[in-house]
Amino acid sequence: MIKPLLYITAVVLLFFAACKSSISSEELYGKWKYIKVENPNANPPDSVSSSDLQAQTPYIQFTKNNDLVIMWGGKVLSHGKFKTDGKNIRYTENLLDGKTREFPFWVMKLTDKEIVFETIGADGSRVTAIR
């Protein structure tokens, strides 16, 4: 009787340890350097070469006032505001014509040193970045 109870308890504890309900803005703050950029849904799947990443030095930066900036090749590629929503980063991008558009980044992995996130769709990208 005790052995099955220990097994069930261990499984439940592992389940809860593996399930992190949401991410917080505080976990994102800082500069994250891109080390891998993939397009897994492209036909055929595609990725940015490591030499291009070294040359362009892309990164994403999250600030305490909920600003988000994506830099590529020393220039602002995109900027706007963000908020967290479960495992998503809801990004409201400021467009050149004064309009905005909102889309989510789904966070697949987040540690204090690494983030893996992706946008959804046929032209979606998966980014691995480190602090």
Question: What tens digit of pLDDT does each residue of 34-72 get?
Answer: 999 998 877 777 789 989 999 999 999 999 999 999 999
| Type of residue found at 15 | F
The pLDDT score that the predictor gives to residue 19 is 55
The pLDDT score that the predictor gives to residue 123 is 77
Using 70 as the pLDDT threshold, list the residues of the chain that sit under it: 1-20, 121-122
What's domain 22-130's superfamily in CATH? Domain of unknown function DUF4822 (2.40.128.540)
Q: List the one residue out of 110, 131, 117 whose CA is nearest residue 21.
A: 110
The pLDDT score that the predictor gives to residue 1 is 54
DSSP H helix total and E strand total for the chain? 3, 9
Structural domain boundaries in the chain: 22-130
Given its phi and psi angles, is residue 25 left (phi above 0), alpha (psi -120 to 50 degrees) or beta?
A: alpha
Global pTM reads 0.81
Contact 83, 67 (CB under 8 A): no
